Amino acid sequence: MLATTPRADSVPKLCGADFELGNLVLGVELPKGTGALASHLLLREFAGVPLARKAAVVCQCTPCTARRNALTFGYSNSPHLGEECERSQSDKNALSWYNPQDWSRKFLSANGSCAYIDLDHLELCLPEVRSARDHVAATHAMLRLARAALESANARMRAGVKIVALANNSDGQGHSYGSHLNFLITRRAWNDLFERRLHNLLFLAAYQASSIVFTGQGKVGSENNRPPVDYQISQRADYFEVIQGAQTTYNRPIVNSRNEALCGSWRHMQDQPSLAKLARLHVIFFDQTLCQVAGFLKVGVMQILLAMIESECVRSDLLLEDAVEAVRCWSHDPTLHARAALTSGRQLTAVELQLEFFEAARAFVESGACDGIVPEANFILKLWGDTLEKLSARDFAALSPRLDWVLKWQLLERVRTQRSELSWGSPQIRHLDFMFSSLQDGLYWACERQGAVETIVSNEQIGAFCAAPPEDTRAWTRSQLLRLAQPEQVERMDWDSITFSLPRDGSYWPREVTVNLANPLGYTKAECACIFERSASLEEALELLGASTDPPLAISASNQIIQVRN
């Protein structure tokens, strides 16, 4: 008999997310392409607090100088903008502030989110949320902020030059970029997934592989040396090559094993042993979705599945014989007839396997096992079941308002019907594929304006997340502290801590005060609003939050900007 009750140590399935945009500049030609220029011009429009102010080592090599100039002065035609730091190339141990996967990160005081450049793509990170509904609102809020940045940046461009930003996962030229989710789970559950219970890992891989039927954005053609196909369900499917691994940009795994909790340092865990029991599951599998129902199910059903795994409610009869091959097979058949083998020898379609997961999840949810763990679990279950029923019936007309891949497929088929000379390989069709997710004039947004997509959240809820953080996670206190501080007072920060530079009595050198935000479920408005109401200054708020003052330091490289010249 499978367990249907939560473990005593189960935790709410808090969710974070980050996604990269496809970005380019039309009307400009550069040797390394225009992605670097586009991402720098977009990031320049975000008003935010840098990840680290003084501790950064300022490299004066030509590529780093070109990057700083693009962020500071705007448009640049430097051919070196897309190149790597010369110093880091020549000396891998050299100090440099250049990290191609985390360049010039800014935290936004408006809503507790952040933005930065990852391999020449603008990357947007959502504030932590507890519910799938808030995830949808926060996602569309960040896309609105990105659209505003795009419009502002384009207003600065000369005639004939235009920045384009796409909320997709593939450039059609063999390059894929990420759309990641992060879920709070127990350390025990993480260890079971990657170190102790292989069937838990394979259970999760089988769920994710079959979930593309409602989480895919859809894509014209194939990539990464996969067999040719006219249209497929998932943008990421062609890029998965192994079951699990910590890597994210090569040999991509279905289940990612990055072990970074973002719940404080070891010192914090010693002071608060409960923090050591928390872990973060980093999920790189899913496509970026724009349809609200797809985004809601993508997060909500994962929350339920992770609660099941945490409670050891795992069905070992649902494991795939080859999950990597199953993803490709299912993705390449939008008619939903393709079958893949389970370890038992059964051959199932992706929808049939999802129905098996649904039945297991229904018993778990109906037992009350998700109470206090997954918000709106019953509604998630109802919407998931109804969507699977429509997928089973192949009722694509009813599914197009809910699912990105179906909506895009229907739009492209309509064009091909009207223009019989166009094939799936025609440049016009491939162009429309990209235009589906364009932030400025995309087909998805046109459908949304016409009421052709189902909504989960209102425009007002999305607008609220543009200007305010979630009230029930640590993002609320992060945002309040950044609003209270002057930009020059923020020394460095991460998701789980912020260090401020404050005056020191009787000394020229400032003191560093660090506030611990290690508990992602803490520091909520309910807990901390009274602190900010009682505080007349940043110093008072930090004192009431229990911030610690670092001991005085001698003059060193850690508190001055170092000029590095080649």
248 near 18, Cβ under 8 Å?
A: no
Residue 152 CB-density burial (10 A; 0-12 exposed, 13-18 middle, 19+ buried): middle
Residues 6+ apart with CB under 8 A from 25: 34, 37, 38, 41, 161, 162, 163, 164
The DSSP annotation for 435-490 comes to HTTBTTT-HHHHHHHTT-S--SS-HHHHHHHHHS--SSSTHHHHHHHHHHS-GGGE
The DSSP annotation for 117-158 comes to EETTEEEEEPPPBSSHHHHHHHHHHHHHHHHHHHHHHHHTSP
243 near 236, Cβ under 8 Å?
A: no
CA 39 to centroid of chain Cα atoms: 17
Placement of tokens 């973002």 in the chain: 262
Residue type (1 letter), 423: S
205 near 197, Cβ under 8 Å?
A: no
DSSP state of 336: S
Neighbouring CB atoms inside 10 A of 490's CB total 22
Give the Cα separation of 64 and 62 in Å (integer).
6
Closest C-alpha to 127, from 562, 493, 478: 478
Give the Cα separation of 62 and 564 in Å (integer).
12
Placement of tokens 């808090």 in the chain: 14
Structure tokens belonging to residue 506: 């009787």
The DSSP annotation for 42-80 comes to HHHT---EESBSSS-EEE-SHHHHHHHHHHHH-----TT
Q: Which of 9, 18, 91, 118 is catalytic?
A: 118
Give the Cα separation of 203 and 317 in Å (integer).
9
Segment (H or E) for 210: helix 198-210
Residue 386 designated active-site: no
Which active-site residues does the annotation give? 118
